[in-house]
Amino acid sequence: MNREAASLGEAVEELLSEVAVETGTEPAPLFDSLRGRGAVVTGGSSGIGRATAIGLATGGVNIAVNYLDTGAESRDAAAELGEVLGQHGVEVLIRAGDVRDPVQTAEFFAEAHEHLGRLHILVNNAGVGADHALWRMSDEEWESVIDTNLSGAFYCIRAIAPYFRAQEFGKIVNISSVHGLSSEFGLANYCSSKAGLIGLTRSAALELGPSNVNVNAVAPGYIRTTRLTDRVPAEIMDRARERSALGRLGDPQDVVSVILFLCSELARHITGVVIPVDGGYLT
């Protein structure tokens, strides 16, 4: 080895040793970095939202959940979720609310902050669908989906941002969809709302990054939830299963695992990204 190569090798070794000193601490285990945090999960009484709230509570996270009150069934589901969360020994707040209402949303976050002490995590899960060919889509069907899936997420981020900025820490995970990345017939409102949510994710990541806030999105494919099985014809689910590289539909826990990762310090240097959880549907 000549003198120049030896000198370069020594320089590289010195640089690596400096990096090791600066970043030598090993990442904390997943749940250790979550325990004791305070989280808000919107639309949390069923499906992916419910599974997310339970997953966070299992990790020792105090939970505030809101849900849309559509009648006795939704209230019963929320009450049952509260009992399940309470079994994990964490603080729990369950409130009916509509994320489309900015005033109501701000009041919910203020109550959540007071009840839980501090807020560290937001999972924007609240979402609806109203499928029709666009030339048959009513104003109400367009507006309700856009207002819930996109505007609602904006209102929630705006409401929690002051708390995150003040403490210079926070994690936001927006639940988008593969249909925010690839359109399908009859989903103009839904695809637009979920694509917009991806844009909101990237904008929020840019604006909140200086305050040490990570903002990311997951894009689930066809996930086996009650809403999916109630709304989507069996033949469409069969086609989705066939299109998936893994040859199956997903379960809520498949999405929750990614959400928990993004909320943990294992993902401390990840922001502004969209992670498909679709079994290779988009492959």
Of 67, 155, 190, 281, which is the active-site residue?
A: 190
Residue 228: predicted pLDDT: 57
Instruction: State how far the Cα of 43 lies from the Cα of 68, in Å rounded to an integer.
Output: 7
Predicted confidence band of residue 232 (pLDDT cuts 50, 70, 90): confident
CA angle 111, 256, 196 (to 5 degrees): 75
pLDDT digits (tens, 9 = 90+) for 19-53: 444 444 444 556 688 999 999 999 998 999 999 99
pLDDT digits (tens, 9 = 90+) for 102-149: 999 999 999 999 999 999 999 999 999 989 999 999 999 999 999 999
Residue pointed to by tokens 């993004």: 262
Residue 64 contacts residue 95 (beta carbons within 8 Å): yes
| CATH number of this structure's domain 27-277 | 3.40.50.720
Whether 190 is catalytic: yes
Full-model pTM: 0.88
Q: Where are the domains of the chain?
A: 27-277
